[in-house]
Structure 1
Amino acid sequence: MIRKSGDKRRQPAVWRRCRTLRSLKQMHALMVVRGFLSDASSLRELLFSSSVSVAGAVTYALQLFDQIPHPDLFMWNTVIRGASHWTPSAAISLFSRMERAGVRPDNITFPFLLRACTKLSESFLGSQFHAKITKSGLESDSFVRNALINMHASCGDLAAASALFDGPARHDVVAWSAMIAGYARRGELSVARQLFEEMPSKDLISCNIMITAYAKQGEMAMARQLFDQVPVKDVVSWNAMIAGYVHCSEHRRALEVFEQMHLAGEQPDEVTMLSLLSSCADAGVMDVGRRIHGSLMEMCSRGGFSIRLSNALIDLYAKCGSIERAIEIFVGMREKDLSTWNSIIGGLAVHGHFRDSINIFENMIGMKWRPDEITFVGVLVACSHGGMVEEGKRYFYLMQNKYGIEPNVKHYGCMVDLLGRAGLLEEAFEFIDHMKIEPNRIIWRALLGSCRIHGNVRLAERANEELLRMRNHASGDYVLLSNVYASRGEWCRAEQVRKLMDDRGVIKEIGSTLLDTDGKNFNFMPKRKPGLRINVAA
């Protein structure tokens, strides 16, 4: 028998309309005005909606929970459940508070705590909870036992998971799925498939686990074979295939599966749309992205887009060159997160709107948002493309000394590019010499490109030497050095570099033109012509 994955708790109609943090706050305000905060039932519903139903509202739920003087067991379990999904470390802290408050956990509490341990990959902490469960006499509870199997299997303790599985759990399809998922997550697909074949009765959850496992490993042929064998599919099945094709950069196949999903009458969810928007952004297919945007507007006409969907749309339009549309979505968002700011700052930077990128960053700082390493990559790219050397140095210093962010290779690469574009080649080389990490090929290649632009032969040779030391034989590096010599009129040395390419068997990749017409890609490449040999008679 095939059963649908996931259960939905029945809620009153008024709470089903709370799908965003904004609507949740409005409902909370209405409760305060009407004196509903003294009603335990309404408090439970508000906590449930903020912790579980509304994505990203768990911080608000925790703030609300702190205002309840004597929460009951249901309230504790509700906030632990929400935290275990969004902020698993907070779930562990809540349990400690729960114990200090003298509230005894039950068979609902522990599975959510074990899920938090799984997300944190905290096998030792999970084992401690296992001991508490055994002491409480709850190990025989099927709900708790299945959570234990899943936690041990996911964290790599397959021996402990197998010990729990060998017994009454073998009659439980959920336990089988937990074991299959554990082996699948560790990449042991052959063992996972063997368990899947041995299952007394396969359900849709176990099928989805195997499809997802194959897709994550890039084995799309096996994923498709199993997918086609499933008689009754749900949205998880379709999402696994779409995400798998996106992961393997087979964007056209991802869109084909979405079309099949539509024909099958299965309603897409947010996960579906996020995968599709990511696919369109990576493939640069803006016309399809626009159609998906239109479908989203029909789906979310009442509640509006979630933050994640809005961020994906910003990323789509920015990557496809429609930065004006990306800005429009950014400005229209009622709620933003750090990824929102990062997407628009980076998008503006790469499209040459460096002043706007920096201004939005300054607005973000003024609104007390704390930037991360991704934010500063966007800011440094803006400074590099805008030739703002002093500003770039200031932000690089600010990142380390005010926000405590250690530069990674991307930050160093941006600074080298910034100095190189500005013609400060000596300073760029000195900067590389004082880097805390080993420069990679991308950094040396950026510097070699700057040397070509500014015609510095001596430093270009050094950058090329570093690339050769890394055993890098990319044709572009040789061509760059050859062009440096050519720009200085040193034709003999330019020819020597070209000969070196031939001696080492380095072949320059042929240029091509990619056109997308009527949904089909056409790649035009010039034909190789046989070389002309000129015999100069003595």
Structure 2
Amino acid sequence: MIKKTVKSRSSNVHQQSSSLWSKCKNLQSLKQIHALMIINGFNSNHIALRELIYTSAIAFSASIHYAHKVFAQITQPDLFMWNTMLRGSAQSLRPSLAISLYTQMEKRCIRPDSYTFPFVLKACTKLSWVVSGLVLHGKIVKFGFESNKFARNTLIYFHANVGDIRIAGELFDDSAKRDVVAWSALTAGYARRGKLDVARGIFDDMPAKDLVSWNVMITGYVKQGKMENARELFDVVPKRDVVTWNAMISGYVLCGENDKALKMYEEMRGAGEYPDEVTMLHLLSACTDSAFLDVGEKIHRSIIEMGAGELSVFLGNALVDMYARCGSIRKALEVFQGMREKDVSSWNIIMLGLAFHGHSEECISLFQDMRRMKYIPNEITFVGVLVASSHAGKVDEGRGYFRMMRTEYNIEPNIRHYGCMVDMLARAGLLNEAFEFINAMEIEPNAIIWRTLLGACKVHSNVELGRYANEQLLKLGREDSGDYVLLSNIYASRDEWDGVERVRKLMDDNGVWKEPGCTLVEADDYALRNFCFDSNA
């Protein structure tokens, strides 16, 4: 009798919670439903908790952080919940969460099943963590899951993409050849390695193709910049999903064809396909690169509608970056302040934006807020605060921040930090100190460093240092017409017309021509900005 009553009550709870989930459309409504669960006592019901974890971890890609917060409060999650969290984490923008979660499973002696390892292995593939993937391969064999179709296909995908392609070939046996997923996994591996001809051959030989197969091949062409081939397949694919559209949009962004990316988005909406977080990140990247502020604002409104006002860290950061780089620093600050969750990148983006837009005091104030709120600054953070110190003429504070990097945060200065220090000293007219600073650098100064000093020599009419900086630029093989013009102007400011003639003759002898319409002051500041933002510098 008690059993029957409990069963009936459990069934009633499940029906009520299921009706709630059907109304869940975004993160905000998800939180509201979770609150109702707590109020009505559903929070102790495993069926309701499973649905909560599934919805927060998988149904809404932007809510994975919320899923982890909820999961941490569950005293005894079952294996379904663990696997669901692993799956959602692996397919999120932070797949390392899946690795951390699996480590917790092992510590708590939770026995995995045939679904557990494939989810973690997918995370290793996305992260290109080969050693961790090989360890998981060993565990799959140890637990006897190697013959499991799901585990085998994921192993083929791992080895084909980042592991040993020969092992992938060995796993692709007769039984695997009857499975379209295995074909797609092998195709993806060869495509990722740049062997598109081999990948296309496997794709064409497939006995049957599903949507994943088409997406894999289209993505393979996209990543190699072969957009014509990608478009050719896109036009004939029998059915498309959000992954298909995202692949094409990202491809056009990567190729710098941002107009086509935005046009593809319009086609996507016209076809009735609903965009996801990845779509929006690609579109914001296109707007940022092309300075399409008006389009970026429209994308922002669409994001707000999608999330009912909620912003993930990734989308929030992308929006702040887009507004800052498109010149709308106040809007960037507004988005930043409205973000409920932030990471170090959030602070870095807004600080760099403020610094380069001349809002140095606000940038430095934010740096103090960041430290007070216990965020740990990284090397990019200090680029922002040094640029702000330079633009504000706060030389003593800048020196202090440069020391702070090493003494408090154990960060070794890189070429950007040295460049910011030279710029700060040069702007303040401390040319001899800037020169001594360059000579004392622990790394080889590059062209940006010497060009910064050369520009300051022009402003302060220092012929001797200007000539030396120009000589160093010539030794680096950087024969930029602007460098010659700067040196010529230094001589002219001192009425040393013989020096002007010597520079012009040197330009003629070296075949260097001045480009018309070049404003050197703006060009120098633009070069420094690109230098600080460019991760490859």
1:438 aligned counterpart, secondary structure: coil
- After TM superposition, give the deviation of residue 380 of structure 1 in Å: 1.3
Whether 2:297 is the aligned partner of 1:285: answer no
Report the equivalent of 2:325: 319
Of 338, 341, 345, 1:335 maps to 341
Q: State the distance in 1 between where 2:166 and 2:30 align.
A: 44
Letter in 2 for 1:336: K
Deviation digits for residues 476-512 of structure 1 (CA, Å, limit 9, x no counterpart)? 2222222222222222222222222222222333338
Q: Deviations over 1:105-152 (max 9, x none)?
A: 111101012123223423233223222222332212111111001111
Q: What is the Cα deviation at residue 90 of structure 1?
A: 5.0
Determine which of 192, 208, 226 is the counterpart of 1:185. 192
Distance 2:68 2:488 in 1: 62
Quick one: distance in 2 between partners of 1:445 and 1:262? Answer: 48
Q: Using the alignment, how far apart are the partners of 2:504 and 2:19 within structure 1? A: 73
Q: 1:397 aligns with which of 403, 414, 426?
A: 403
Deviations 1:400-452 (A, max 9, x none): 22222222222221111111111112221222222232222122211211111
2:245 paired residue number: 238
Pick the aligned partner of 2:52 from 39, 46, 51.
46
Determine the C-alpha separation between the residues in 1 that align with 2:116 and 2:144.
14
Q: Give the partner amino acid of 1:507.
A: W
1:114 is aligned to 2:121 = yes
On the 8 A contact 2:63/2:312 being kept in 1, the answer is no
Q: What residue number does 2:315 align with?
A: 309
Is residue 2:498 matched to residue 1:497? no
In structure 2, how many angstroms separate the alpha carbons of the residues matched to 1:94 and 1:270?
23
Cα deviation, 1:277-301, whole Å, max 9, x if unaligned, reads 221222112222233334444444x
Question: CA 1:299 to 1:48, structure 2 compared with 1: closer, same or farther past 3 Å?
Answer: closer
Report which stretch shifted further, 72-81 or 461-470: 72-81
What does residue range 478-497 of structure 1 map to in structure 2 within 5 Å? 478-497=484-503
Aligned residue among 404, 412, 421 for 1:406: 412
Deviations, residues 243-268 of structure 1 (Å, cap 9, x unaligned):
12211222222222223333333333
Q: What secondary structure does 2:285 align onto?
A: helix
What is the deviation of 1:457? 1.4
Aligned partner letter, 1:245:
Y
Q: Secondary structure at the match of 1:402?
A: helix
Name 1:353's counterpart in structure 2: 359
Structure-1 separation of matches of 2:238 and 2:248? 15
Contact 1:18 1:49 in 2 (8 A): no
Candidates 235, 247, 256, aligned match of 1:249:
256
Decide whether aligned partners of structure 1 residues 282 and 25 sit closer, same or farther in structure 2, where only a CA change above 3 A counts: same
Match of 1:370 among 358, 365, 376: 376
Structure 1 segment 410-489 matched on structure 2, within 5 A: 410-489=416-495
1:220 aligns with 2:227: yes
Moved more, 497-506 or 412-421: 497-506
CA distance in 1, matches of 2:277, 2:208: 30
- The answer to whether the 8 Å contact 1:52/1:82 transfers is yes
CA distance in 1, matches of 2:372, 2:97: 28
Gapped regions of structure 1 (runs ≥ 5): 1-10, 514-538
Letter in 2 for 1:171: R
Give the counterpart of 1:134 among 141, 150, 155: 141
Check if 1:205 corresponds to 2:212.
yes
Q: Does 1:264 align with 2:271?
A: yes
Determine the structure 2 residue equivalent to 1:510: 516
CA drift at 1:29: 5.2
- The aligned counterpart of 1:77 is 83
Alpha carbons of structure 1 residues 497 and 220: separation in structure 2 relative to 1, 3 Å = farther
For 1:69 and 1:273, locate their aligned partners in 2 and report how far apart those are by CA, in whole Å: 36
Partner of 1:218, secondary structure, is coil
What is the aligned-residue identity percentage? Answer: 58
Aligned to 1:170: 177
Distance (whole Å) between structure 2 residues aligned to residue 18 and residue 44 of structure 1: 17
Match of 2:111 among 104, 110, 125: 104
Give the Å deviation of 1:160. 0.5
| CA drift at 1:26 | 5.7
* Deviation of 1:163 (Å): 0.6
> How much has 1:389 moved relative to structure 2?
0.9
CA deviation vs aligned residue, 1:4-39 (integer Å, no higher than 9, x gap): xxxxxxx9453463743x766665555445444432
- Residue 153 of structure 2 is matched in structure 1 by 146
Structure in which a larger fraction of residues adopt helix: 2
TM-score of the pair, normalised by structure 1: 0.85
Bigger drift between 326-335 and 417-426 goes to 326-335
Q: Which structure 2 segments of 5+ residues have no match?
A: 1-16, 520-537
**2:10 counterpart residue number:** none
**What residue in structure 1 maps to residue 13 of structure 2?**
none
Deviates more, 1:58-67 or 1:70-79: 58-67
Aligned residue identity for 1:263: G
